[in-house]
Amino acid sequence: MASKLSFKRTDSIAESMPDALRQSRYQMKRCFQRYVSKGKRLLKNQQLIEELEKSLDDKVEKEKLVEGFLGYIICSTQEAVVLPPYVAFAVRMNPGIWEYVKVHSDDLSVEGITPSEYLKFKETLYDENWAKDDNSLEIDFGALDLSTPHLTLPSSIGNGLQFVSKFMSSKLGDKPETSMKPLLDYLLSLNYRGEKLMVNDTIDTVNKLQTALLLAEVFVSGLPRYTPFPKFEQRFQEWGLEKGWGDTAERCKDTLNCLSEVLQAPDPINMEKFFSRVPSIFNIVVFSIHGYFGQEKVLGLPDTGGQVVYILDQVRALEEELLQRIKQQGLNVTPKILVLTRLIPDAKGTKCNVELEPVENTKHSNILRVPFKTEDGKDLRQWVSRFDIYPYLERYAQDSCAKILDILEGKPDLIIGNYTDGNLVASLMSSKLGVTQGTIAHALEKTKYEDSDVKWRDLDQKYHFSCQFTADMIAMNTSDFIITSTYQEIAGSKEKPGQYEHHYAFTMPGLCRYATGINVFDPKFNIAAPGADQSIYFPFTQKQKRLTDLHPQIEELLYSKQDTGEHIGYLADRNKPIIFSMARLDKVKNITGLVEWYGQNKKLRDLVNLVVVAGLLDASQSKDREEIEEINKMHNLIDKYQLKGQIRWIKAQTDRVRNGELYRCIADTKGAFVQPALYEAFGLTVIEAMNCGLTTFATNQGGPAEIIVDGVSGFHINPMNGRETSNKIADFFQKCKEDPSYWNKVSTAGLQRIYECYTWKIYATKVLNMGSTYGFWKTLNKEERVAKQRYLQMFYNLQFRNLAKTVPRVYERPPQAPAGA
């Protein structure tokens, strides 16, 4: 409605709101009286709109106001703090753009306030003394970003790499002889185990470099295209040039020319191209700490889901891309990739107790497992929930750093953290070793749990969010670049803030106020969406590739009549299509929600069967708090809605290859995949299903909203509205009954969407380009970076360390006797 209005970014709300209030003074006074009538409180967007509408009786007036500028402001307000006589608004006009104002409810005067002032208002609702204390801990990471350029357009958020290339082009273009010096220094620092690459020390000025490039380019232009580099290596050295320019005369010529162009008049395209060719990355370490991290029998265990799948596929893609680049650089170097994770002695039949394990389908990549230590220095034996692992991380960082240096015989060139724990350890290590660091969140817990920042105390015993959010802030601010899967992960949508955006300004009363946590306009943000392994997840229509050997097992899994330890329930009518879901049995995955929607919708039950793969079937076998609650809920729902005969609940399935065939078998029934999560950061199952040609319905809360184009390549569902969702699914199957070609149409459009946007090849190219470009970018503005690092180190030391000490270490069991002993 009101959001149709156009609004210039230059119009500040503090400036334009008073006039608008004046024009509807009578009505707005009534509205503000409603806001303050119940005393101190926090009002969310929906409540603000409802109260506004309730305060207006006249229909025409109501429409005018809601459609007008004031309506627009209120619709754009994410939340408001009511502290009579004031109402403080946090207004988000566009992704990433926030403004804070306070309005006096009696005289309707408006005043712009800073994020910090707004947060103090909010804190008053939860901890008044702390809010009023002038010396409460306030952290402002933005205060240290004095010369870091920021993007300004919401539509450009997530395109950090292009922005950095553009900015460097203009900055370095100023006076090439002096401004290009950092680039020359960077080139001079390139080496592989001490052996110089690209240029040697005889080239000590930009002029000399330009001359050498010119001479070499003329020389290689006279050679046959495919002349191998060793044939003219010696000539290159005479000009001060070393290997790394290319494997053939043609490739060298192209790289030399690209750098000459950059030095003459830098432009972003050549800049990006040059950094994609620089031989700066050979060894990479990826951190994924909490476990279970393995290649077999781990998926679906608590905490172990898409992150593991993502990293294994990521490593394969990165290795392939590295090998290709190294070959084209004309180097004879073997890259190494290590995935650092926890060694868990009580490995429960997985390989999580094995120290070094090669990554399947790679030549040079390994999983390295390092144990957590108990206080008395022994290896901690059991799995520990990701929420409880903070006391172990510092020691872990030290132990794993020593191992890495040993195995790689030196420092890595790039480290990539995953999730809070991996990102924190990566931050400690990058600060220590001075290595370029990327971070990946997979999920930021603060966004998953509403008001988990202001209500942190209520949740801390269970989740230790005080540690988690502090660690997230440290990692986001330490890392050189941030890899995200979707735009929405960073900056949400027009209506909803993104996961990272939620960390712009927030407060944890009694603990710490973040006047600036992280700014989504920072050019460190980049989007590189993952893919799904297309050798496993291929379309159900590719008959010759189908794994028919597995069909008897899948037949048993879906249709056998007896309950076993593996599944519960059965499907009485085999002729119906199947709606299918597969996820860890966490609350937020909302598998129980799907079962309930199904149970309540007779039409849907008549049209389709339901199959879910999730968690364990027996609560007594689980150690995970949330999983236990969800298991019990599943049993209750099956009884309550008498679902046996229409539902099959299968326990977590850890065999990816068979799962691929399972998706295809569901597609054979002309069924659908349903991803009902209350919130999903990205949603690998969504792209797996779509890769198999299975029509997909997925939550509109999070990444899937961006993966699927609603009504074209699949469907969005609203997990907050079960009735609407189950009707939408039922309507689809009704339509398919009437017109079977409709199902095929959606399935084909889903596949097309995947091939255009979600592949690992695109991902690996982007990430390696980030590694080398940000590796140079961080050498600019060194002093400012050092200052920020000092601030971060102090914060880690004084805040995080103390918080981590408050988390109880798990009860450390002695080794268990082997079964039967």
Residues contributing to the site for ligand UDP (CB under 6 A)? 299-300, 305-307, 309, 582-584, 613, 652-653, 656, 659, 682-685, 688
Decide which of ligand UDP, ligand LCN, none touches 652; Cβ closer than 5 to 8 Å per partner kind: ligand UDP
Site residues for ligand LCN, window 205-234 (CB under 6 A)?
none
Q: Does residue 680 belong to the site contacting ligand LCN (CB under 6 A)?
A: yes
Decide which of ligand LCN, ligand UDP, none touches 582; Cβ closer than 5 to 8 Å per partner kind: ligand UDP
Question: By C-beta, is 677 or 729 nearer to ligand LCN?
Answer: 677
Please identify the residue of the shown chain whose CB is closest to the bound ligand UDP: 305
| Closest CA relative to residue 656, chosen from 308, 362, 346 | 308
Decide which of ligand LCN, ligand UDP, none touches 583; Cβ closer than 5 to 8 Å per partner kind: ligand UDP
Phi first, then psi: give them for residue 287, nearest 5 degrees: -105, 130
Please identify the residue of the shown chain whose CB is closest to the bound ligand LCN: 306
Question: By C-beta, is 162 or 622 nearer to ligand UDP?
Answer: 622
Decide which of ligand UDP, ligand LCN, none touches 220; Cβ closer than 5 to 8 Å per partner kind: none
Q: Does residue 683 belong to the site contacting ligand LCN (CB under 6 A)?
A: yes
Residue that is written with structure tokens 């119906």 in the block: 576
- What is d(CA 476, CA 138) in angstroms, rounded to the nearest whole number? 17
Question: By C-beta, is 300 or 335 nearer to ligand UDP?
Answer: 300
Closest distance to ligand UDP from the beta carbon of 235 (Å): 51
Question: By C-beta, is 99 or 706 nearer to ligand UDP?
Answer: 706
Site residues for ligand LCN, window 464-493 (CB under 6 A)?
485
Question: By C-beta, is 291 or 703 nearer to ligand LCN?
Answer: 703
Decide which of ligand LCN, ligand UDP, none touches 186; Cβ closer than 5 to 8 Å per partner kind: none
Question: By C-beta, is 36 or 582 nearer to ligand UDP?
Answer: 582
| Closest CA relative to residue 734, chosen from 544, 585, 614, 576 | 576
Amino acid at 806: T
Question: By C-beta, is 530 or 771 nearer to ligand LCN?
Answer: 530
Q: Does residue 310 belong to the site contacting ligand LCN (CB under 6 A)?
A: yes
Could you tell me which residues are beta bridge partners of residue 257?
none
| Closest CA relative to residue 592, chosen from 642, 631, 639 | 631
Closest distance to ligand UDP from the beta carbon of 588 (Å): 8
Rounded alpha-carbon distances, angstroms, from residue 700 to 46, 492, 718, 721:
18, 11, 6, 11
Q: Does residue 697 belong to the site contacting ligand LCN (CB under 6 A)?
A: no
Which two three-digit tokens encode residue 455? 């209500």
Site residues for ligand LCN, window 413-452 (CB under 6 A)?
442-443
Question: By C-beta, is 371 or 498 nearer to ligand LCN?
Answer: 498
Q: How many CB atoms lie within 10 A of CB 329?
A: 23
- Only segment of 161-169, 651-659, 678-686, 690-698 that touches ligand LCN (CB under 6 A): 678-686
- What is d(CA 397, CA 393) in angstroms, rounded to the nearest whole number? 6
Instruction: Give the Cα-Cα-Cα angle 24, 27, 30 (nearest 5 degrees).
Output: 140
Q: Does residue 307 belong to the site contacting ligand LCN (CB under 6 A)?
A: yes
Q: Where are the beta strands (DSSP E) in 428-471?
A: 436-440
Question: For residue 372, what is the DSSP state?
Answer: -
- Judged by CB under 6 A, the residue of 306, 335, 422, 722 near ligand LCN is 306
Amino acid at 6: S
Site residues for ligand LCN, window 771-810 (CB under 6 A)?
none
- What is d(CA 189, CA 184) in angstroms, rounded to the nearest whole number? 9
Instruction: Give the Cα-Cα-Cα angle 793, 795, 799 (nearest 5 degrees).
Output: 130
- What is d(CA 511, CA 260) in angstroms, rounded to the nearest whole number? 53
- What is d(CA 571, CA 68) in angstroms, rounded to the nearest whole number? 54
Which two three-digit tokens encode residue 94? 């566009």
Decide which of ligand UDP, ligand LCN, none touches 488; Cβ closer than 5 to 8 Å per partner kind: none
Question: By C-beta, is 389 or 583 nearer to ligand UDP?
Answer: 583
Closest distance to ligand UDP from the beta carbon of 33 (Å): 45
Could you tell me which residues are beta bridge partners of residue 580?
611, 673
The three state secondary structure string of 131-163 is HHCCCCCEEEHHHHCCCCCCCCCHHHCCEHHHH
Question: Rule CB under 6 A: which residues touch ligand LCN?
Answer: 306-307, 310, 442-443, 485, 680-684, 703
